[in-house]
Amino acid sequence: MTIHQTQPFDGQKPGTSGLRKKTQVFMQPKFLENFIQATFDAIGGAAGKTLVLGGDGRFFGAAAAQTILKMAAANGAARVIVGQGALLSTPAVSHMIRKRKTDGGLILSASHNPGGPNGDFGVKFNMSNGGPAPESITEAIYERTKTLDSYNILDVADVDLETLGTSDLGGMAVEVVDPVADYADLMETIFDFDAIRAMFAKGFRMRMDSMHAATGPYAVEILERRLGAAPGTVVHAEPLPDFGGMHPDPNPTWAKELMAEMMGPNAPDFGAASDGDGDRNMILGAGVYVSPSDSLAVIAANATLVRSFRDGLKGVARSMPTSMAADRVAQSLGIPHYETPTGWKFFGNLLDAGKCSLCGEESFGTGSDHVREKDGLWAILMWLNILAVRGETVAEIVSGHFRKFGRNYYSRHDYEALPKDVANALLADLAGRLDTLKGLSVEGMTVAGADEFSYHDPVDGSVSNHQGFRILFEGGSRIVLRLSGTGTEGATLRVYLEKYVAGPEGLERDAQEALKPVIAAVEKIVGIARATGRTAPDVIS
């Protein structure tokens, strides 16, 4: 074992989902090593532990995996279970941690951020429950990065990660596993594969865009091999280090090809996309886009049609900026609903405590208690199972949902790469005026209240402050503003817009059109153009 002297790097503070930086930043000598040593130290050392290791196949992932294996061995770890070729989707890591009862796992991914030498890279630590490390651990990691003066690593040749089986690395077992099999088997226990297979056999057509990222091999195995979808159903199926130049973010802006096909003539019955590490999903029907918030609500309303939820949901949780559509379903089902800060880690306690079994976020994340991460393919299979049982189209199911529950028109407007001081000043200005907003009349709406969201975890009592600004209007419309915790350039301002329409009239409008007064109210109350000089968002989802 070699002990290397080092010095702390600034800015190794994990964000919404692990540490994300430009790939070049991660590739600086000792940058990755420092963060990994700090992580091992923060969890009480790696000695004697069994960990899972994998990632989304992005540039620098394979090299980083080698470094981490040599560091785990030098720190005395007992075993590392690693996906073949260092590939494992985020939900597959979560499942592997739980199935093999390991002490945790490391995921090498910057999720939906672009990859490659000029893209982004990231590292995330997950706990023994399979879920992202909570704030207490990420804070401990960050504190340790500030004082670190050495790290441990073996000075040995690289490990063969292509051949399945177990080898020895300085006394530590390295177990190379098939990344897909266990996860695909888990899906078979949750869903009615026979019903979905029968639907495909009758000619049901689907397009799955894996965006040259982690889900490709999983989607081909599950959809084409096990469920009998037509060969070629999965496109961009091969994981590539730079995602083939694609931006693996499954939303209408970045999944352009899929959007064009699904909105065009002769569209398939069902369309879906996933992100870099396979935890996000986008759902489409022929001619219809289902927003993530609506998808969560539809899944909640139809969950009992799926075998694993036959006895009902324990509760539903959503992140605060996610639309309130799922709350309406929970209320009608008479089950609890929870509102958490942005970040899948906040769902962990609720799931572990059995308080809820379905969670979702506006940021294209949906999942359940089968793992402790959001799970793109799980959400896609949930929809396929519901479609197979109901025998209706996506458009019919969504329209029927709106007729029953009303519609929460919803959109997110992102302003990317703003100067940090400009973004901070804008929000500080709003914070200073929050108390004065109540009663304000704007665009024909009246402000019912405004606050900064704080979360009190009902399981462990922890409090998370400063989780975004909310401006609520009478009648259920809402504006939420917060800064992204996953960007790697400047500050990304996210503006979440919502307007509730009870129906039966006005349920089938274009979302941007329906939200016009809310969008105008943002400018009047917050003044984004005034403060930033930007007159339009960079991404609308």
Backbone angles phi, psi at 90, to 5 degrees: -60, -50
Q: Tokens standing for 439? A: 């009663």
Q: Which stretch binds ligand G16 (CB under 6 A): 159-167, 222-230, 398-406, 482-490?
A: 482-490
Please compute, for residue 450, the number of CA atoms within 13 A of its CA located in the half-sphere on the CB side: 21
Query: Which residue among 224, 261, 279, 375 contacts ligand G16 (CB under 6 A)?
Result: 279
Query: Which residue among 326, 494, 521, 522 contacts ligand G16 (CB under 6 A)?
Result: 494
Max Cα distance, the chain (Å): 71
363 binds ligand G16 (CB under 6 A): yes
First-to-final CA distance of the chain: 49
Q: How far is the CB of 5 from ligand G16 (least distance, A)?
A: 33
Instruction: Report the C-alpha gap between 123 and 103 in whole angstroms.
Output: 17
Catalytic residue chosen out of the listed positions 17, 89, 111, 477: 111
C-alpha closest to that of 498 among 481, 484, 483, 485: 481
Query: Which residue among 57, 115, 179, 343 contacts ligand G16 (CB under 6 A)?
Result: 343
Instruction: Report the C-alpha gap between 98 and 95 in whole angstroms.
Output: 5
Q: Which residues of 83-99 are buried (b: 16+ CB within 10 A; e: fewer)?
A: bbbbbbbbbbbbbbbbb
Q: How far is the CB of 421 from ligand G16 (least distance, A)?
A: 19
144 binds ligand G16 (CB under 6 A): no
215 binds ligand G16 (CB under 6 A): no
Q: How far is the CB of 194 from ligand G16 (least distance, A)?
A: 31
One-character DSSP codes across 206-232: EEEE-TTSTHHHHHIIIIIIIS-PPTT
Of 302 and 322, nearer to ligand G16 (C-beta) is 322
Q: How far is the CB of 423 from ligand G16 (least distance, A)?
A: 13
111 binds ligand G16 (CB under 6 A): yes
Q: Which amino acid, residue 291?
A: S
Peptide bond into 517 cis (omega under 30): no
Specify burial of residue 452 (Cβ count, 10 A radius: 0-12, 13-18, 19+). Answer: middle
112 binds ligand G16 (CB under 6 A): yes
Backbone angles phi, psi at 174, to 5 degrees: -110, 115
Q: Is 541 a catalytic site residue?
A: no
Q: How far is the CB of 374 from ligand G16 (least distance, A)?
A: 7
Site string for ligand G16, 302-341 (x = CB under 6 A): -----------------x----------------------
Of 199 and 246, nearer to ligand G16 (C-beta) is 246
Of 50 and 274, nearer to ligand G16 (C-beta) is 274
Q: What is the DSSP letter of 159?
A: P
Q: Which stretch binds ligand G16 (CB under 6 A): 38-46, 158-166, 236-244, 481-489?
A: 481-489
Characterize the bridge pairing of strands 365-368 and 455-456: unpaired
Q: How far is the CB of 453 from ligand G16 (least distance, A)?
A: 13
Which residues belong to the active site? 111
Contact residues for ligand G16, defined by CB under 6 A: 16-17, 111-112, 275, 279-280, 319, 342-344, 361, 363, 365, 484-486, 494
